[in-house]
């Protein structure tokens, strides 16, 4: 009998905060940076109540103090106050901060996380009020946070601007305090109802796209209805691999591995560590699914969801001749550079080009002619995918560059605007092309690499969620939209004694792909998907896989309690001695193995190891003893007459009690 250390159970494939210069007496406020360039270890997870506070200051222009605190107010059961520098904190701007009012009396190690906005009310036109918002985790070292350059003093004190009326200034604060949960104990399913996808190395771009497609329920239902069989292998079948992945996303309690899917793509480990293009992956995946759906009950689903058509035309100006060509698209590439928002990009997309002079159009019947060239849309799809051209080739520098310019996109997109300026004469004007934003895919980084994640609102409600690989968190609308516009933000100079003129920094996290759903098709696309839509063999297969996974998980957690015992019986000796073995009793790789608890007595082990056709040998023979480090391996034969007295206890070594 040989006692061995068991093999390990296979595991499943598994902006910088800037302090304000110390220029005045007392604790100094910290400057807020609206976009964080790094991810903290903690994350807000619940929807807090927003507390509002209004501070009215009379005779504001005659204030003769460096800084001024408001009365204390309560938000989230905590005490707060507003701190302002009426003449600026060594800058020519009003400086304003949110301060923890009782920070000196709080226990050691305290912290609280808050999202807040500060505003100077315009008392003539409220819509022109100056407002800024940010978020911060307040601690003893950083007990105040806000904006050194909130607004220019020239604007604030200009009586015609409306910020001072009868020399009264009104400041408002809105504060939402969130509970903070440690990163390592965070449970996405428990906190949001959704689970994430594991990153294989550089597959974050794929994870964000898959989450977006999964949360289009009509698409998910079509994938479930693709014909697959119980004999199919997920790693060799894209439909089955995608069905399996979607099923696990819907019913699992923890993050999901994507190796089966990438293997079905024909990818190896190297591909998983290479970052590909989201648009390219989206097109290839849709083309493969479209091909697999042919001849099935879901044939044409990809076209029904994502396919639109536009018309390329060239129209002669001086003669009656027009050439047109209809083309289909699954997504649209929109220019970012030189465009302030999505509408400006569409304007540029349908912009008319003049063909004249040396660039005249060669028409077949009329020869060279002055002409107009352009594109108009015949129809838009129910699910509109917009690829933002954040990357382009710089011919001057001969390199690819990322465009981080500010680029705005609306919550609702009206493509019938200005009397249908984007539509061709053949377009069906009875279809209302009003779209609502479903998801925002974000790229954070530069042209040579970065990270992808997605903001999605699965039911098109006001609830947004951030899907960042394995982690899913609740987010507000501002974070999903405005903070993904890109562009620049201002930070103050932080070196004391130097010019404190604010300087700008580029935001490298910005929207890369937008998904809109047409309002008139919303009920059809955001449909209910349940187990009735899933094939029986798929449910059985995945239920079995889940049970096996639970067993492996249990074995892994209990592995330290067990050891492997190999038993050589009479028939093993007869079978091997003189045939397969010459210098030992048996070949240990060819005898029966038992996984047993280390503390089990031998008399309890015997029934597991014996059956009606085999028995232990009747002689006593020590065959092998070797000791190395903390591991001991012993081979021996046990006398059958003394098996009730023999005990085994293994804790790094074996101890025996002879007869």
**Residue 7: inside a domain:** no
Do 83 and 195 sit in the same domain of this protein? no
**Residue 63: inside a domain:** yes
What pLDDT is recorded for position 656? 39
Do 146 and 237 sit in the same domain of this protein? no
**Residue 425: inside a domain:** no
**Residue 421: inside a domain:** no
Do 203 and 283 sit in the same domain of this protein? yes
Strand-pair partners of 251? none
What pLDDT is recorded for position 447? 79
What pLDDT is recorded for position 609? 62
Do 63 and 157 sit in the same domain of this protein? yes
Helix axes 217-224, 204-214, angle to 10 degrees: 90
Do 104 and 156 sit in the same domain of this protein? yes
Range of the domain at 149: 51-177
Run of H or E residues at 160: none
Q: What is the mean pLDDT of each run of 10 residues along the chain (659 residues)?
A: 48 36 39 36 53 93 91 90 91 90 84 88 88 84 86 90 92 84 76 92 89 96 90 86 92 90 78 65 88 90 95 93 93 94 96 91 88 95 95 85 92 94 93 96 85 93 92 89 85 47 74 96 93 87 85 85 82 77 74 82 71 43 41 44 40 38
Last residue of a domain, one of 132, 152, 177: 177
What pLDDT is recorded for position 6? 47
Catalytic-labelled residue, pool 204, 286, 316, 339: 204
- Written as six digits, the tokens of 147 are 């904006």
Q: Tell me how far apart the alpha carbons of residues 302 and 363 are, in angstroms, rounded to a whole number.
A: 37
Do 155 and 217 sit in the same domain of this protein? no
**Residue 315: inside a domain:** no
451 is known as an active-site residue: yes
What pLDDT is recorded for position 563? 85
CA distances from 91 to 18, 85, 127, 532 (A): 16, 10, 26, 65
What pLDDT is recorded for position 591? 82
List, as own/partner pairs, every contact residues 16-25 make where C-beta atoms lie below 8 angstroms and the sequence separation is at least 24, other chains included: 17/142, 18/491, 18/492, 18/494, 19/142, 19/494, 20/89, 20/148, 20/492, 20/494, 21/90, 21/492, 21/493, 21/494, 21/495, 21/496, 21/500, 22/496, 23/89, 23/90, 23/496, 24/66, 24/67, 24/89
**Residue 375: inside a domain:** no
**Residue 431: inside a domain:** no
Do 131 and 109 sit in the same domain of this protein? yes
Do 58 and 173 sit in the same domain of this protein? yes
What pLDDT is recorded for position 132? 87
Catalytic-labelled residue, pool 93, 215, 451, 588: 451
What pLDDT is recorded for position 627? 43
What pLDDT is recorded for position 503? 58
Count structural domains, the chain: 3
Q: What is the CATH number of the domain that holds 192?
A: 3.90.70.10
The secondary structure of 360-397 as a DSSP string is -EEETTTEEE-EEEEEEEEE--SEEEEEEE-EEEETTT
**Residue 70: inside a domain:** yes
What pLDDT is recorded for position 215? 96
Which are the contacts of 328, defined by CB distance < 8 A and separation ≥ 6?
Answer: 307, 308, 309
- Written as six digits, the tokens of 628 are 């190395």
204 is known as an active-site residue: yes
Last residue of a domain, one of 112, 144, 177: 177
CA atoms in the 13 A half-sphere facing the CB of 261: 24
Do 204 and 162 sit in the same domain of this protein? no
Do 115 and 197 sit in the same domain of this protein? no
Do 65 and 170 sit in the same domain of this protein? yes
Do 220 and 295 sit in the same domain of this protein? yes
Strand-pair partners of 133? 117
């Amino acid at each position: 009998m040989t006692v061995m250390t068991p093999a390990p159970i296979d595991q499943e494939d598994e902006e910088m905060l800037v302090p304000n210069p110390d220029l005045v007496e007392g604790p100094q406020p910290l400057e807020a940076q609206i976009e964080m360039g790094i991810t903290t270890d903690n994350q807000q997870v619940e929807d807090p109540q927003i507390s509002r506070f209004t501070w009215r200051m009379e005779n504001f222009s005659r204030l003769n103090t460096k800084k001024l605190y408001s009365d204390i107010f309560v938000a989230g059961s905590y005490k707060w106050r507003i701190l302002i520098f009426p003449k600026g904190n060594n800058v020519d701007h009003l400086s304003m901060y949110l301060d923890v009012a009782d920070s000196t009396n709080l226990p050691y190690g305290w912290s609280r996380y808050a999202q807040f906005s500060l505003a100077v009310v315009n008392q003539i036109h409220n819509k022109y009020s100056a407002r800024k918002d940010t978020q911060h985790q307040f601690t003893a070292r950083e007990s105040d946070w806000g904006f050194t350059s909130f607004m220019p003093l020239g604007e604030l004190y200009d009586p015609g601007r409306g910020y001072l009326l009868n020399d009264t200034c009104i400041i408002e604060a809105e504060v939402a305090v969130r509970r903070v949960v440690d990163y390592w104990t965070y449970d996405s399913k428990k906190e949001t109802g959704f689970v994430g996808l594991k990153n294989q190395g550089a597959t974050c771009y794929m994870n964000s796209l898959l989450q977006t497609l999964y949360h289009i329920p009509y698409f998910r239902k079509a994938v479930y209805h693709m014909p697959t069989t119980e004999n199919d292998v997920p790693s060799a079948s894209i439909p089955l691999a995608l069905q399996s992945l979607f099923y696990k996303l819907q019913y699992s309690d923890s993050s999901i591995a994507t190796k089966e899917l990438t293997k079905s793509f024909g990818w190896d480990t190297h591909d998983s560590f290479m970052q590909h293009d989201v648009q390219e992956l989206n097109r290839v995946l849709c083309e493969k699914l479209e091909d697999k759906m042919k001849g099935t009950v879901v044939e044409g689903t990809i076209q029904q969801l994502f396919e639109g058509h536009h018309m390329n035309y060239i129209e002669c100006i001086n003669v009656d001749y027009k050439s047109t060509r209809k083309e289909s698209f699954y997504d649209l590439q929109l220019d970012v550079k030189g465009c302030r928002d999505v509408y400006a990009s569409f304007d540029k997309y349908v912009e008319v080009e003049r063909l004249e002079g040396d660039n005249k159009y060669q028409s077949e019947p009329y020869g060279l002619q002055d002409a107009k060239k352009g594109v108009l849309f015949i129809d838009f799809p129910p699910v509109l995918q917009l690829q933002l051209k954040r990357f382009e080739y710089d011919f001057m520098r001969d390199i690819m560059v990322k465009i981080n310019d500010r680029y705005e996109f609306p919550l609702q997109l009206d493509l019938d605007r200005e009397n249908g300026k984007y539509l061709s004469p053949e377009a069906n004007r009875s279809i209302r092309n009003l779209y609502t934003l479903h998801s925002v895919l974000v790229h954070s980084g530069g042209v040579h690499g970065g990270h992808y994640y997605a903001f999605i609102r699965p039911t098109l409600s006001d609830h947004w969620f951030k899907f960042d690989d394995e982690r899913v968190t609740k987010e507000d609308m501002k974070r999903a939209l405005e903070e993904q516009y890109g562009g620049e933000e201002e930070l103050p100079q932080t070196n004391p004694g130097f010019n404190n003129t604010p300087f700008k920094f580029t935001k490298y996290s910005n929207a890369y792909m937008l998904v809109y759903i047409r309002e008139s098709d919303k009920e059809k696309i955001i449909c209910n998907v349940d187990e009735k839509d899933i094939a029986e063999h798929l449910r059985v297969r995945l239920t079995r896989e889940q049970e096996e996974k639970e067993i492996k998980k249990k074995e892994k957690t209990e592995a330290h309690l067990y050891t492997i015992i190999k038993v050589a019986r009479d028939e093993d000796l007869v079978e091997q001695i003189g045939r397969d073995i010459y210098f030992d009793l048996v070949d240990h790789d060819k005898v029966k193995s038992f996984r047993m608890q280390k503390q089990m007595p031998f008399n309890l082990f015997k029934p597991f190891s014996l059956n009606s056709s085999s028995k232990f040998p009747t002689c006593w023979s020590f065959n092998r003893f070797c000791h190395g480090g903390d591991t001991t391996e012993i081979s021996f034969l046990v006398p059958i007459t003394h098996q009730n007295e023999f005990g085994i206890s293994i804790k790094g070594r074996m101890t025996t009690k002879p007869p």
